[in-house]
Chains A and B, each alone.
Chain A
Amino acid sequence: MKVVGLKCRICGKEFPAEAIYTCDNCFGPLEVVYDWEWIKEHATKEKIERGPKSLWRYKDFLPVDVEPVDLGAGYTKFVKAENLGKVLGLKNLFLIDDSVNPTYSFKDRVVSVAVTKAKEFGMKAVGCASTGNLAGSLSAHAAKANIPAYIFVPKGIEKNKIIQALVHGATVVEVDGTYDDANRVATEVAEEHPDWGFVNINLRPYYADGSKTLAYEAAERLGWTLPDQVVVPMASGALLNAIFRGFRDLERVGFVDEKDVIFNGSQPYGLPISRAVKYGKSVEPVKKMDTIVHSLAIGNPADGIFAKEIIEKTGGFAEDPKDEETIEAVKLLAKTEGIFTELAGGVTIAGLKRLVEDGRIDSSDVVVAYLTGNGLKTADPILEYLNDTVKIKPRLEEFEEVIA
């Protein structure tokens, strides 16, 4: 069997592979333990390359046994960003563009794995707390799996993201508070209904591993080599952790040579993980979050201490761009590469820009930057920073005057 069980990330106590997420010995979070001999026996590069053009090409590395709930997530665009690279002074900049996932964000990767696991466990419903992207993704995958979905969102999230969730038939519960409030309520609901699969709560160990495919894809598309540096947007810090573990997995099975990849994170100004790394503090929760980047606005990041540890031990850094820089970065990416990313992707690019300017990334470094979602999801805040339309009467001469 590929999955051996679960293990506490803090004290190492082992548990069976059930829908549990907290160690009963030290209350630390759990992660999936794999049988690496099984994986080595079953997985080959050739098998992956012949596999579906989705994250399920890496099924031998993912913690499920049944037929996946698959909308086609993953194996998204991998772009050598020549134009943006030129502007920033990077010769080998690559982007993984998850704006083209089935529900337009990277969450489809984790949700596809988690909903498959919910199906495997025979769960009666699925749910999540969401800043928006997860809501849309979970609703769509639940619809495909024919399982009811309950989604807890904070008041004031982008309307597009709620529309997505509603159109797929989920029950969307708008909590009068922040994401952290919605998350607390969802956790309490998950505790009351153990036969419901809350993807980022009691299915979290499995869910989180879906993001490891962002590491697998980067390596595969770099010809089975690892990059020198990565730049990852951070909310809870789970994504950065997953990418780190993903590279390790590939080293472990011998698909890539070992390499010390430098991990950099980026988070809107004032949020806990970047603040802790940048100013040498511990990761302390933040109550008031003053940013337009709602999808990264988690004041109490569960994986924050782990993300900080990885950044520090790999010699990376965490940047904390202001909202104006993020908007400029969204525009820069759109104008140079033709990719319209959501604000979180703008945080990645704004962070990357700072890292280059500060001399933390060399011009020849192979860099992979992660764009986690589609710009149309967070279009409203951008609108006021764009040029207005050119208005003319319906006459050719008027247009000729415009371009004269």
Chain B
Amino acid sequence: MIKVKFPSVFVQITGKRRIEVDGVEKVSDLLEKLFQDFPKLKDRLLKDGELTPFINIFVNGEDIRHLNGLETKLSDGDEVTFIPAISGG
């Protein structure tokens, strides 16, 4: 079971901020599953096939760009968090 947390700006698409997802082995699988369940999310997260730079994805608090990107493996109990890319002053 993978725990997934969304920012509030996703709620109009996903209906809630926390869901649990089964049967995914890596981040790209998770995205595929989310895109099936919430097709609008796909339109907004992907631009020309690339993930928008304005949402960062973290696995257990680590930015996937510092892990293995979309190929980052997921295992039972992992937490995936989507966070708007805001930082600094």
Contact = CB atoms under 8 A, between A and B. Distances in A.
Interface residues of A, number: 45
Contact of B54 (A28, A107, A236): A28
A38 interface: no
A191 B83 CA distance: 9
Interface in A217-259: 235-239
Contacts of B7: 22, 191
A103 interface: no
A110 interface: yes
A191 B65 CA distance: 22
B45 to A, nearest CB: 7
B84 A21 contact: yes
Given A10-B54, A22-B9, A298 B83 contact: no
Interface in B27-72: 44-45, 47, 52-56, 58, 61, 63, 65-66
A24 to B, nearest CB: 5
A28 B47 CA distance: 12
B49 to A, nearest CB: 15
Contact of A287 (B9, B66, B81, B87): B66
B86 A285 contact: no
Nearest to B53: A305
A204 B86 contact: yes
B18 to A, nearest CB: 11
A183 B89 contact: no
B87 to A, nearest CB: 5
A201 B86 contact: yes
Contacts of B83: 184, 187-188, 191
Contact of A200 (B45, B53, B88): B88
A167 interface: no
A175 to B, nearest CB: 10
A194 interface: yes
B81 A188 contact: yes
A70 interface: no
Contacts of A188: 5, 81, 83
A181 interface: yes
Nearest to A236: B88
Contacts of B75: none
A184 B61 CA distance: 8
A180 B87 contact: yes
Contacts of B58: 184
Contact of B84 (A22, A131, A180, A181): A22
Contacts of A200: 86-89
B45 A285 contact: no
Given A27-B44, A191-B7, A191-B8, A181 B87 contact: no
Contacts of B81: 184, 188
Contacts of A130: 89
Contacts of B88: 131, 179, 183, 200, 235-238, 298, 301-303
B87 A298 contact: yes
A302 B53 CA distance: 9
Interface in A291-318: 298, 300-303, 305
A27 B84 contact: yes
Given A27-B52, A110-B89, 6 more contacts: A22-B84, A29-B84, A179-B87, A183-B87, A184-B61, A302-B87
Interface of A: 10, 20-29, 107, 110, 129-131, 133-134, 179-181, 183-184, 187-188, 191, 194, 200-201, 204, 207, 235-239, 284-285, 287, 298, 300-303, 305
19 contacts: A10-B54, A22-B7, A22-B86, A23-B9, A24-B12, A26-B52, A27-B45, A27-B54, A129-B87, A179-B87, A184-B61, A191-B7, A191-B83, A200-B86, A238-B89, A285-B66, A298-B88, A302-B85, A302-B88
Interface of B: 5, 7-9, 12, 17, 44-45, 47, 52-56, 58, 61, 63, 65-66, 81, 83-89
Task: Give the top 8 A-B pairs by smallest Cβ distance, nearest first.
Answer: A236-B88, A27-B54, A298-B88, A22-B84, A22-B9, A287-B66, A183-B87, A302-B87
